Structure 1
Amino acid sequence: MQADIVVLPGDGIGPEVTAAAIAVLNTVGARYGHRFRFEQHLIGGAAIDATGTPLPAETLEAARSADAVLLGAVGGPKWSDPNAKVRPEQGLLAIRKALGLYANLRPVKPHAAALGASPIKPHLLQGVDIMVVRELTGGIYFGRKQRNGDSASDLCEYNADEIRRVVRRAASLARSRSGRLTSVDKANVLETSRLWRDVTTQVVRDEFPDVALEHQLVDSMAMHLIAKPRAYDVIVTENMFGDILTDEASMLAGSLGLLPSASLGEGTVGIYEPIHGSAPDIAGQGIANPYATILSAAMLLRHSLGLDAEAQCVELAVSNALDAGVLTADLADGRPSVGTRAATDAVIAQLQLPCQVMELRD
């Protein structure tokens, strides 16, 4: 296979962790007979500094013509003024919207080696395997915004079609897993959530009768996610609720540095990025955790390129590196830690070994 991948390193540790993922993808390509071509472009704060806009036209054009997009992180103290008219995160929201990427997949599966880094009791984490599907292009983040003197408003708006498509994606995933889907809303207060609940119920009833659907209010979900995380499999929710709940879910994994994500639409192109931020306090020190970005590259292989076996091999390589005690500082919990390069090299070394997850040409 030959594939064109646009790389958007972004800000902070973004260039470091995307470099790690590129090295892993090059190893996969060399080992299994694929050719990946990488083209880097600007986004976020780096793009503001260079061009005055967080999403230059040439970046969007390149992303539209690529097979997949690998993204690092955006933002940092330099551009943190919330009142600024131009901000790094605007580039991220805009590219998702422009590419029609409405479903953000965020898997949460704690690894045994990282349980000590989580503030949650280890016995609650064993066996946790959650896929959060967050609606990505609607809701309050994209609604009309107003500020007049001492008052302000943000419009949260959804239509039935926006809800149907993301629920179908989530229900399809649930069908391929345990057949359980939890929909999160605030239907006791919000009209958008009442629409969300009605449409979700209809879609699952009419199109996925084999999927068991449960509704949860977002405040109770925030509690249950920590108290009984094994009770959940696929969770689908709207944009802002998903943003908040997935950061909370990172505590189950022990660190944001272990959680990848895929932003998908109707086609095969997607944006793949770790859910952590730009971590400007450690940028340039060579200590950033690359595992989440490497796992995002595995999702890229699976969802955009159709290379599921290769994706499984990358995921197994990361798991084996963690099993071997190759832990970055955020995971070490008092144990010896390594930097970005050593963690990346450990994954690459694992990829050189025979991979038995599926039939592959070794």
Structure 2
Amino acid sequence: MSNVFKIAILPGDGIGPEIMNQAIKVLNKVKYYLNINIITNEYLVGGSAIDTYGEALPKKTLLGCEESNAILFGSVGGPKWDYLPLNKRPEKNSLLKLRKHFNLFINLRPAYIYKNLYMLSPLKKNILDKGFNILCIRELTGGIYFGNPNGRKGTGINEYAFDTEIYYRFEIERIAHMAFNFALQRNKTICSIDKANVLNTSIMWREILKNLSHKYSQVKLNFMYIDNAVMQLMKNPSQFDVILSTNLFGDIISDQCAMITGSIGNLPSASLNNKFFGLYEPAGGSAPDIAGKNIANPIAQILSLSMLIEYSLKNKNISKKIENAIEQVLNLGYRTKDLFTNQSNEIIVTTEDMGTLITEYIT
């Protein structure tokens, strides 16, 4: 690795800039431990870029990302831009374009719960007591979101809409290899989610995984239909280690993984290509209704930075320091508004305060 590492900072819209500021605090604290010169450059993206440049992903922003080693992304979109046609809105015209441009075909979303946040989870305590630590791996650049043809045709009662689910063998093989390798670093179990009783793409997906599994004899490979998987996640999430899924099913099941932890505001994600160039972002949205109120939860953004340090900077030790600091702050009872459960030891703090506290506890 070069002795200079460049990070493109894309705060985005809504609460994006507020929570990004807290991640920058943490980065400024830990970069002296990393023994590498880290340079950050900030660029507009999403709705804020539309307001300034007339497009959600300006050339200046894309060039800045191309010249960087990783992207730390906030959140984009909001009602302000809902008047635009779908293909011009901030979400589709910035984030999806970045994923496609950099071939970020693998999305990682970890899901675990802090013991002192059990009250926030919809799951019963006897289920939570078993614990769970899930890595949801979602294929990100193929499938129904990118398939052609798609559109609307016809008129009147005969008008119809259509989308195409398409997967190429190389798309399935490359994410499968990544998933097997991640499983080898964890508990050596993969549950692949599909709908092979109905969909041709799922039948092919399942066949390819079975064939590749012979190269990874240490990993136990299971299959589950998506409808059963969402039930099992509620019933017994501890049975899962690595979950692998297509783009559409991964979109669904990764959000359910988020919800059982109690707050999507605590969950980060990483989108990577085969060179581990990554875009790191919180799992939640831009939350424009609370933007500017200094009450947003910055933990997911800070943990997204932690994932950047782990996967792109290859430094698990510093990543773990950040995770430990967050756990310490939560153990002391500090909560942003979304995490408050009215327990006697809880103290409501602002976005700024939470970022400062986490930074202070990194040692």
TM surpasses 0.5: yes
Instruction: After TM superposition, list the pairs within 5 Å mapping 1:108-147 onto structure 2.
Output: 108-126=111-129, 127-144=131-148, 145-147=150-152
Q: CA deviation at 1:121?
A: 1.2
Per the alignment, residue 162 of structure 2 pairs with 153
TM-score (norm 1): 0.94
CA distance in 1, matches of 2:351, 2:326: 13
Matches for 1:251-330 after TM superposition, within 5 Å? 251-330=259-338
CA drift at 1:282: 0.4
Residue matched to 2:222:
214
Which residue of the other structure, out of 58, 61, 76, is the alignment partner of 1:59?
Answer: 61
How many residues are paired up?
A: 351
Does 2:233 match 1:225? Answer: yes
Matching residue within 169, 179, 191 for 1:170? 179
Normalising by structure 2, we get a TM-score of: 0.94
Provide the rounded CA distance (Å) in 1 between the counterparts of 2:217 and 2:291: 48
Secondary structure, aligned partner of 2:135? strand
Measured after TM superposition, the shift of residue 210 of structure 1 is: 1.1
Give distance in 2, aligned partners of 1:203 and 1:78.
47
- Equivalent residue of 1:273, what SS? strand
* Runs (4+) off by over 6 Å: none
- CA distance in 2 between partners of 1:85 and 1:300 (Å): 29
Q: CA deviation at 1:317?
A: 0.9
User: 5+ residue gaps in structure 2?
Assistant: none
**Conserved 8 A contact 1:28-1:34:** no
Q: Secondary structure of 1:30's partner?
A: coil
d(CA) in 2 for partners of 1:241 and 1:26? 37
Alpha-carbon distance, 1:50 to partner: 1.6
> How far apart are the structure 2 equivalents of 1:324 and 1:186?
44
Task: Show CA shifts across 1:104-162 (max 9, x none).
Answer: 00000101121111111123123210000000000111112211142111111101110
Alpha-carbon distance in 2 for matches of 1:99, 1:247: 23
For 1:105 and 1:35, locate their aligned partners in 2 and report how far apart those are by CA, in whole Å.
26
Structure 1: gaps (5+ residues)? 354-362
Whether the 8 Å contact between 1:287 and 1:329 is mirrored in structure 2 is: yes
CA distance in 2, matches of 1:316, 1:128: 18
Aligned to 2:199: 190
Structure 1 pair 84/129, CA: closer, same or farther in 2 (3 Å)? closer
After TM superposition, the structure 1 stretch with the greater mean CA deviation from structure 2, 21-30 or 332-341, is 332-341
Q: What is the CA distance between 1:35 and its match in structure 2?
A: 3.1
Render the CA deviation track for 1:153-192: whole Å, top value 9, x for unaligned: 1111101110111111111111111111000001111111
Q: Which of 341, 357, 360 is the equivalent residue of 1:349? A: 360
Match of 2:12 in 1: 10
Cα RMSD (Å): 1.3
Quick one: percent identity of the two aligned structures? 41
Cα separation, 2, equivalents of 1:250 and 1:69? 22
How far apart, in 1, do the equivalents of 2:14 and 2:83 lie? Answer: 16
Q: Which amino acid aligns with 1:96?
A: R
Following superposition, the deviation at residue 34 of structure 1 comes to 3.8
Q: What's the secondary structure of 1:334's corresponding residue?
A: coil
How far off is 1:32 after superposition? Answer: 4.7
> Alpha-carbon deviation of 1:265?
0.5
2-structure distance, mates of 1:118, 1:153: 37
Show the counterpart of 1:200.
209
Task: Summarize the Cα distance change of 1:181–1:81 in structure 2 as closer, same or farther, 3 Å threshold.
Answer: farther
Q: Kindly provide the amino acid, as one letter, of the partner of residue 302 in structure 2.
A: I
| Deviations, residues 306-345 of structure 1 (Å, cap 9, x unaligned) | 1211111111111111111111111111243211111111
SS in 2 for 1:140: helix
Distance 1:114 1:132 in 2: 21
Give the aligned partner of residue 98 of structure 2: 95
Aligned residue type for 1:339: T
Mapped partners of 1:221, 1:113: distance in 2: 26
Letter in 2 for 1:26: N
Q: Does the 8 Å CA contact 1:125/1:252 hold for their aligned counterparts?
A: no
